[in-house]
Structure 1
Amino acid sequence: MRSNYLFTSESVSEGHPDKVADQISDAVVDLFLSKDPEARVACETLVTTQRIVIGGEIRCRGAYDEEQFADTHGWAPGVRDEIEQVVRHVVQKIGYEQGGFHWQTADFDNHLHGQSAHIAQGVDESGNKDEGAGDQGIMFGYATDETPDLLPATLYYSHRILERLAKDRHDGTVPFLEPDAKSQVTLRYENGEPVAATALVVSTQHAPGYCDDGREGSDAAKYAQLRDYVVGVFNDVLPAGFVSDETKIYVNPTGRFEIGGPDGDAGLTGRKIIVDTYGGAAPHGGGAFSGKDPTKVDRSAAYVARYLAKNVVAAGLAKRCTIQLSYAIGIAEPLSLYVDLHGTERNGASAEKLEQLLPQLVKLTPKGIRTHLGLNKPIYGPTAAYGHFGRKPDGDLFSWERTDLVDRLKQAIA
């Protein structure tokens, strides 16, 4: 392990086109889970200039059944309208009322259809057969003691910067901000600990004139106001002393960012998986989370892997922990469980001991994960912006962030 180095992570705001798509997809998941806790949903979203398109596969009692509602192409009366209302509400809540993308006037296309019967027969519980994984794949969980929420510091502060911008935009504190934004944080590590910010970047969509690119309509005084505000957020969010005269600060380095959101760049579900997880500080299995019900192990197994890794670190058994799980479609039990403590193990812990212990604490089948974490509920909308991890648990919302295994881990390792 290196002790002294620079590391960088980025985040994107709720108004970033890809995050708009993620939030729409998860709102659709929540809608169907609110109707049927056993609903199967795989919803993908495309957003671009004045257009929203959703597609994918679903199964939901009372809402979509190709035989029961054959005369309406499988849809129960009113459900298609309800989906559109939910989608438009997401865009409205984010704050898009622009000529190039408006919650009320954007064209909307719904191409959701029934789930493949061949997938269903492998995944569904039947007779003596336990519910199988919704797909094959590998999933990773990670935790580090760099921050109170056991998330890598570079990503943690990238998220917090943009959350602050969004809060101030929504409450009217800074009326010149628009929804689309990105942040990037580079920290210097000494002896493995973050000690200073060497570079900070924010690109935020803004009202006309809040730029200084020398072109018509730019206003140096307004840009200075925007820049001073962002620098103030840096100082508020990062620990005291992290921002100094030596920190390189870039605020809207292109000079102007008036055209943004889906009007400036198309957005798709699942294109910000590193932002969603650990900012590049840990491996990623490749599967996106948003738009998927919890039978899809891309989502649920990644959540339980984070849950286990976080509890290991919270129990003081290691400073860093990575966990990998793997599954085969239709098979209930994981094919493998791998633990890496990165040479930071403490208090008698070892990767080998944890590989034997962790499956005894949580049943790692898809059904076991969903039951333990309470995942068959409409809880996914809030996960789709500012990271799925490092959040405050609230009942079943962010239940994978609980540290309720700590005492059992300590007792078992002692």
Structure 2
Amino acid sequence: MAESPTEGHPDKVADLIADALLDEFLRKDPYSRVSLEVMVISGMTFVAGHVSTEGYVDIPGIVRSTIKEVGYNRPELGFDADASAVIISIEEQSPEIVLGLSQEGAGDTAVVIGYACNETESYMPLPISLAHFLSKKLADLRKTGRAPFLRPDGKALVTVAYEGTKPLFVKDIILFAQHDPDVSLEKLKEYLVEEVVKKVVPSRYISKETRILVNPSGRFVLGGPVADVGQTGRKIVSDAYGDTAYSGGSAFSGKDPTKTDRSASYLARMMAKHVVAGGFAERCLVQLAYAFGVSEPIAFDIETYGTEKVEKERIKEALREIFPLNPRRMIEFLDLRKPIYKKTACYGHFGKEELPWEKLTKLEELKERLGGGIQ
């Protein structure tokens, strides 16, 4: 099973604000060191953390413009961009962290996971891929005005039935969609089944056993931060691969790329994707571990679940030779000092072709090194 919240979900509002602020700091100073936490609740947004930068950022302005962009721009929603108080507590980054980074070491201690499989064109697991498409479709219908009765909060959950590692059909599709009070649940379900489910989920995955539910608990008028507090980093599984792969346990949003729990997660995904895209395995999980201040990973391993077409140790050695595992070189290789992070905060950090860690730039080199069959 996999879930995907819409951008109006309170936890995603917090992630969006954190990454919008990170982008602005990097836009003003690409070498900004940023570690931010955001909490949103009715009428208030809290921003706290540590920042070292040469640039100035209008934090309240970025916070309010992000909230407005999500769609919280009317008092009746209970969380209004113009009326939200912004409370800030930011200090300079610890000099001990600065010292560790100056020695080209990792900016944090982290265990990270990268994963890819051949279930979808994006090399992402089918459940999380469908969940992201469904929740994004909800948001798109609302933001383009085609479904003005929808409100920003929402979520999609998808369960897929498998035979071994092969997806057979979608077992459950559950949509939670915040809506205006004058919309009946019956009309809402009819509309979302036609305009969301049928437009997103390929018909080959729909069977007579597929169950579709819309707002199974009933009315969903009160939502967003007025109904539930939101915080950064509380959707790490939906940010990654759903329940198909392990999670390293760390959140991504609000952290600059010197934090290896973010940057190394991106590199690990890129490595895993190369393995599957090259046809060397049907599934690949890459595990990396970093210690603060240490310039190389303290652990590196891969798992191909018995689907490898080339000996696993050969794949592992080729990945180590081709991809830069040093934190500084990793940042340079992926060009991570640019303001690209806001687009990762919702609908997953992986599977979006425009992001640098999704590019197959080393595929030909990997093929040259691994060549044909098992030796």
* CA-based RMSD: 1.1
Q: Which of 4, 27, 31 in structure 2 is aligned with 1:11?
A: 4
Question: In the alignment, which of 296, 303, 310 is matched to residue 333 of structure 1?
Answer: 296
Instruction: Give, as a single letter, the amino acid of the residue that structure 2 aligns with 1:104.
Output: D
- Give yes or no for contact 2:174–2:214 (8 Å, CA) kept in 1: yes
**What is the aligned partner in structure 1 of residue 30 from structure 2?**
37
Tell me the residue number matched to 1:218: none
- Partner-residue secondary structure (3-state), 1:353: helix
List runs of 5+ in structure 1 lacking aligned partners. Answer: 1-7, 64-78, 211-221
Partner residue in 2 for 1:399: 356
Aligned to 1:66: none
Give the partner amino acid of 2:192: V
Once the two structures are overlaid, the 10-residue window that deviates more, 158-167 or 187-196, is: 187-196
Aligned equivalents of 1:352, 1:14: Cα separation in 2: 41
Q: Please state whether the residue corresponding to 1:154 is helix, strand or coil.
A: helix
1:53 is matched with which residue?
46
| Distance in 2 separating the partners of 1:241 and 1:340 | 30
- Matched-pair contact (CA < 8 Å) for 1:325–1:337: yes
Q: How does 1:85-234 map to 2 (within 5 A)?
A: 85-99=61-75, 100-124=78-102, 129=103, 131-210=104-183, 222-232=184-194, 233-234=196-197
Q: Give the drift of 1:191.
A: 4.5
What percentage of residue pairs aligned between the two structures are identical?
Answer: 42
Letter in 2 for 1:392: E
- SS of structure 2 residue aligned to 1:147: coil
| Structure 1 partner of 2:315 | 354
Q: Aligned runs of 1:179-328 on 2, under 5 Å?
A: 179-210=152-183, 222-232=184-194, 233-328=196-291
SS in 2 for 1:227: helix
Gaps of 5+ in 2: none
In the alignment, the residues of structure 2 paired with residue 235 and residue 190 of structure 1 have an alpha-carbon distance, to the nearest angstrom, of 24
CA distance in 2, matches of 1:302, 1:241: 32
Q: Which amino acid aligns with 2:129?
A: Y
In the alignment, which residue of structure 2 is the partner of 1:377?
A: 338
Q: 1:409 & 1:241 partners in 2: Cα distance?
A: 34
**Could you say what secondary structure the match of 2:307 adopts?**
coil
Kept in 1: contact 2:276–2:283 (CA 8 A): yes
Asked if the contact 2:37–2:232 (Cα under 8 Å) also holds between the matched residues in 1, the reply is yes
SS in 1 for 2:203: coil
- SS of the residue corresponding to residue 204 of structure 2 reads coil
| SS of equivalent residue, structure 1 residue 368 | helix
Are 1:209 and 1:223, in contact at CA under 8 Å, matched by a contact in 2? no
- AA in 2 matched with 1:257: F
CA distance in 2, matches of 1:192, 1:209: 44
Give the structure-2-normalised TM-score: 0.96
Please give the TM-score of this superposition, normalised by the length of structure 1.
Answer: 0.87
Residues 83-139 of structure 1, C-alpha deviations (whole Å, 9 max, x = no match): 111111110000002432001101111111110111111122xxxx4x110111110
Distance in 2, matches of 1:141 and 1:302, equals 6
Retained in 2: the 8 A contact 1:341–1:350? no
* Code of the aligned partner of 1:187: V
CA distance in 1, matches of 2:164, 2:112: 29
Larger gyration radius, structure 1 or structure 2: 1
| Structure 2 residue 372 is matched with structure 1 residue 410 | no
State which of 362, 384, 388 in structure 1 corresponds to 2:349.
388
Question: Partners in 1 of 2:186 and 2:110 — Cα distance?
Answer: 48
Counterparts of 1:331 and 1:390 in 2: how far apart (Å)? 30
Are the counterparts in 2 of residues 234 and 243 from structure 1 also a CA contact under 8 Å? no
1:294-337 deviation per Cα after TM superposition (whole angstroms, max 9, x unaligned): 00001000000000000110000000000000111011111111
Residue 198 of structure 1 deviates from its aligned partner by: 1.3
Question: Number of residue pairs matched?
Answer: 368
Q: Which shifted more, 275-284 or 239-248? A: 239-248
Between stretches 317-326 and 110-119, larger displacement belongs to 110-119
Measured in 2, the distance between the counterparts of 1:255 and 1:382 equals 32
Question: 1:379 is aligned with what amino acid?
Answer: I
Q: CA deviation at 1:62?
A: 4.0
Determine if contact 1:143/1:321 at 8 Å carries over to the other structure: yes
Misfit runs of 4+, over 6 Å: none
- Structure 2 partner of 1:73: none
